[in-house]
């Protein structure tokens, strides 16, 4: 593609940007599957990143931003465009506030706040990925989410660097304005964010974080090639009557029903397609048991959706993000 070749030449001239051709994306995803990115460019320098985004946009070729690849399913054919990654990872604690660049691991932010005795993010210990992607997907666990303490985000709308506050991020469960903009084809890219916290007891927070990490490591052993929960939990007030009647009251927590419950009823545990399996312990965890392909993943996800649709009349929606597919599995 001529536009892509020209874009590659321009990207290669941007100082501090690392550019490679035909970069295997399975290396950049925890699921460990997916074909190559035609062009892959990464940098920890904000100006180089902005220049790379401008270049990709101007070339009129497909492009996408990834983070640490822990929530991605990449097509076996790969991505016939430009894959960008921003690695700027500075974290600063200023009094009761913390500031983090988008490429900083979320865990480093959580650790820094615990260390400083700033309370609120300790339940998010162990969520993999970076701060930018956590804002994009409003990541959270055990009753906390990134939305809780965020007060300011600096982002790039493709033309200008702008700022917004927490309200401007339009956070909902695993949703944000950043995700909506990307799905609408006009992504807003997080550059940096600021968070404000009440003071807490660092020792108690550390203890809570350790307990949570132990639970998480049992659920998702560090070597498991997976993407966390595949499908979003279901909002109780949006469920059709047929599904509501089936759900035991104790499964409704915080207005949501775990997708895992529906999947388990549908016989998901232990199912497999090729090298991709459903965990025997958690029906909403799919993993690459070795040699898995994106086609295996899609076949399995599609079968799971079909079973839950037929049994409960509900449409499961992915929490994972697809790259390089024409459409998500039905
Ligand atoms: C074992 C395991 C456990 C998990 N547990 C949880 C959990 O408890 N709670 C939870 O919420 N998630 C969980 N996840 C999912 C995952 O950790 C989160 O979705 C995480 O935020 C993804 O971060 P990432 O850097 O890997 O992003 P990627 O997977 O690389 O990308 C995800 C999306 O973020 C977008 N993105 C990346 N950077 C930016 C940016 N700077 N600006 C705008 N958009 C950006 C990308 O375009 C992409 O669409 C889990 C995943 C795994 C593997």
Rg of the chain taking only CA atoms, in angstroms: 20
Find out whether the beta carbon of 28 lies less than 6 Å from any atom of ligand 1. no
CB 145 less than 6 A from any atom of ligand 1: no
Q: How far is the CA of 131 from the centre of ligand 1 (A)?
A: 9
Which ligand 1 atom is nearest residue 191's CA? 41
Residue 264 reports pLDDT greater than 80: yes
pLDDT tens profile 88-108: 999 999 999 999 999 999 999
Identify any residues that bridge with 109 across adjacent strands, giving them in sequence order.
none
Q: What would the mean pLDDT of 270-274 be, rounded to a whole number? A: 97
pLDDT at 326: 85
**pLDDT confidence band for 1 (50 / 70 / 90):** low
Residue 2 pLDDT more than 80? no
d(CA 260, CA 234): 10
Domain ranges of the chain: 2-86, 91-217, 221-323
Residues 6+ positions from 68 with CB-CB distance below 8 Å: 30, 105, 128, 129, 130, 133
pLDDT at 57 over 80: yes
Q: What pLDDT is stored for residue 292 in this prediction?
A: 97
Q: Is residue 226 within 6 Å of ligand 1 at its C-beta?
A: yes
Q: What is the CATH number of domain 91-217?
A: 3.30.465.10
Q: Is the CB of 127 under 6 A from ligand 1?
A: yes
Q: What average pLDDT does this structure show over 3-19?
A: 97
Mean pLDDT of 225-235: 96
pLDDT tens, residue by residue, 133-160: 999 999 999 999 999 999 999 999 999 9
Q: Given ligand 1 and candidates 128, 322, 324, which is best to mutate, with the most ligand atoms within 8 Å of its CB?
A: 128
Active-site amino acid positions = 174, 229, 319
Query: What is the position in ligand 1's atom list of the atom closest to the CA of 323?
Result: 49
Place of tokens 């025997």: 280
pLDDT at 141: 95
This model's pTM is above 0.95: yes
Q: Which fold has domain 221-323?
A: 3.90.78
- For domain 2-86, give the fold: 3.30.43
């Amino acid at each position: 593609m001529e536009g892509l070749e020209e874009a590659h030449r321009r990207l290669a001239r941007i100082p501090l940007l690392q550019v490679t051709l035909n970069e295997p994306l399975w290396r950049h995803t925890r699921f460990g599957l997916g074909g190559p990115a035609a062009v892959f460019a990464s940098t920890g320098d904000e100006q180089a990143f902005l220049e790379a985004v401008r270049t990709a946009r101007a070339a009129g070729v497909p492009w996408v931003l990834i983070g640490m690849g822990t929530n991605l399913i990449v097509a076996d054919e790969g991505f016939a465009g430009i894959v960008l990654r921003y690695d700027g990872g500075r974290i600063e604690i200023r009094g009761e506030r913390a500031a983090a660049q988008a490429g900083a691991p979320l865990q480093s932010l959580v650790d820094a706040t615990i260390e400083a005795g700033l309370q609120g993010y300790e339940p998010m210990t162990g969520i993999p990925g970076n701060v930018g992607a956590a804002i994009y997907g409003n990541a959270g666990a055990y009753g906390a989410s990134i939305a809780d303490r965020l007060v300011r985000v600096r982002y790039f709308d493709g033309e200008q660097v702008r700022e917004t506050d927490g309200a401007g991020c339009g956070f909902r469960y695993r949703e944000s304005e950043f995700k909506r903009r990307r799905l609408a084809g006009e992504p807003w890219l997080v550059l940096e964010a600021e968070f404000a916290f009440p003071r807490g007891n660092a020792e108690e927070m550390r203890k809570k974080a350790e307990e949570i990490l132990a639970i998480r490591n049992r659920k998702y052993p560090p070597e498991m090639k997976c993407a966390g929960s595949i499908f979003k939990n279901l909002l109780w007030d949006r469920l059709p009557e047929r599904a509501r009647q089936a759900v035991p009251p104790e499964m409704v927590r915080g207005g949501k029903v775990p997708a895992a419950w529906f999947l388990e009823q549908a016989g998901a545990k232990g199912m497999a397609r090729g090298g991709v399996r459903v965990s025997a312990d958690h029906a909403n965890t799919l993993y690459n048991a070795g040699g898995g392909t994106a086609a295996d993943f899609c076949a399995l996800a599609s079968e799971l959706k079909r079973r839950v649709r037929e049994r409960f009349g509900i449409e499961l929606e992915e929490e994972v993000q697809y790259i390089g597919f024409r459409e998500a599995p039905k």
